[in-house]
Amino acid sequence: MSHIQTYRLPDFAKVSTVHILKTGEMISSLDDYMKVQDRFDWVDQSQIIAAIFRLRRLTESPKKSVIAIYEETHAVKEYVNVDETFKPLVFC
């Protein structure tokens, strides 16, 4: 007789980051971000990582959360539990 129990772990909530340039262009891929990385030197990466972990707990499936990082205003905005098709405003 086996006393092993199996548990299904919940899927991780989806949290993504998008960098928004002064022109309004949205950068969401790593390759594109690497080209403009120096424009976002002011961003505290440890705060972004902490926000991702915090938003994972708050985000309900099948929704997602988005962290928008704006080059022009040096603002970081969080959008929690938005639809998959959601795009943040290009100017804040």
HSE, side-chain direction, 13 A CA sphere, residue 90: 8
Reference 86, options 54, 47, 59; nearest CA is 59
Q: Is the entire prediction scored with pTM above 0.95?
A: no
* pLDDT, tens digit (0-9, with 9 covering 90-100), for 28-86: 999 999 999 999 999 999 999 999 999 999 999 899 999 999 999 999 999 999 999 99
pLDDT above 90 for 4: no
